[in-house]
Amino acid sequence: MNTNQWNRLQTIDRRVIYAILLVVILIPLFFPITLPTFPSKQSRNFYDTIEKIAKDSPDKIVIVDGWWSPSTRGENQWQAQAIITHLMMRHLHFAILSFDTQNNTVTQSQIVEPLAKKYGYVYGKDYVNWGFRPLAAFVPVAKGLVIDIPGTIKKDYKGTPITQFPVMKGIKTRSDVGALIEITPSASAEGWLGMFEKNNSPPFLFAPTAVMAPTYYPYLDTGQMAGMLTGIKGAGDYEGLLGTHSFGSRAAGALSLVYALIIALIVLGNIGYYATRAASRKEDR
């Protein structure tokens, strides 16, 4: 083969690559591929922490904070769904809080309400929606929750004073919080760790998109985070641990095939590069 023929491996039309990618994604959606799943240590720790709260302190409230919007629903929605399913399975009380305008509506209507019907959860008695807070108010909200939860939140998402809800009975300060769960596509964990958490109490559980995850591994090592769900892989892990196989488990098959394709393309491109160089040298001689 001459230089031009080898060079073709490096100049495959991107539309051809996209078409192959599409086929690779669609095959496991039509014909589900069941791969053996091994939940990562951080996913298992996330799960175990919720189990521990259900066993040791079931009266405490779990805060589920969301910064995500439909733009990252491919990862965050499935994480949120798995986490809230777990909370409901163990009948833990929880409060939804959002620092994104779209998040509060999506979490309430797309995730919590359908699951509440399934698990018999009643608004105000088993869970509450603390509503949306603008990002600019993050620091006062996070610091306020430490010493005075009812005084900081005041009203739920419909404008009802939160002290009227049975689920908020006895919930006054940070010590009444069982865990803080953060579901996010951004670097929002840092604010909570700096402003709300003290000596890893209450346990901080983090569910970021995969792109954000590597930055936060040091926080797992130091114990500042009790567990982490890494993107859709984390959601799949969690569904596996719960035994509720949904999109997260299904996407794992497609994701594995996509990785295989990307690795194959990288290898092809490199073969093309080295072979072109070798052929070029040969022709020069």
Partner 1 sequence: MEYIRHLFNPILLFGALGTMAILSLVFKENRFYRVFEHVFLGLALGYDLEFTWTTILRPLFWDAMVRDGQWAWVMTVPVGLMFYGIYTQRFTWMSRVVFGIFFGLNAGAVFQDFAGRVVPQVTKSFLPSKSLIPPPPIPGDPHALLHQISFVLNNFLFLGIVVSVLVYFLFAFEQKNKAVLRTAQIGRWVLMFAFGAIFGSTIMTRMALLIDRMYFIFHDWLRLVKG
Instruction: Decide if 102 contacts 70 (C-beta within 8 A).
Output: yes
- Show the beta-strand stretches assigned E in the chain: 61-66, 93-98, 127-132, 177-184, 204-208, 227-228
170 sits near partner 1 (criterion: CB under 8 A): no
Distances in Å between the Cα of 213 and the Cα atoms of 22, 136, 148, 185, 247 are 26, 24, 31, 9, 20
179 sits near partner 1 (criterion: CB under 8 A): no
In the bound state with partner 1, the residue whose beta carbon lies nearer, of 58 and 70, is: 70
The residue within the footprint of partner 1, chosen from 56, 117, 120, 159 (CB under 8 A), is 159
In the bound state with partner 1, the residue whose beta carbon lies nearer, of 165 and 196, is: 196
Who contacts 132 (Cβ-Cβ below 8 Å, separation ≥6)? 98, 99, 100, 101, 103, 104, 157
Q: Which range of residues in 37-45, 49-57, 133-141, 275-283 is near partner 1 by CB under 8 A?
A: 133-141
In the bound state with partner 1, the residue whose beta carbon lies nearer, of 230 and 276, is: 230
Output phi, psi for 64, to 5 deg. Answer: -110, 100
In the bound state with partner 1, the residue whose beta carbon lies nearer, of 132 and 273, is: 132
Token pair 């009266």 is found at 59
State the Cα–Cα distance between residues 86 and 45, nearest whole angstrom. 14
In the bound state with partner 1, the residue whose beta carbon lies nearer, of 92 and 203, is: 203
Residues contributing to the site for partner 1 (CB under 8 A): 14-15, 18, 21-22, 25-26, 29-30, 32, 72-75, 77, 101-102, 104-105, 131-134, 139, 143, 155, 157, 159, 190-191, 193-195, 197-198, 209-215, 218-219, 221-224, 230-233, 247, 250-251, 254-255, 258, 262
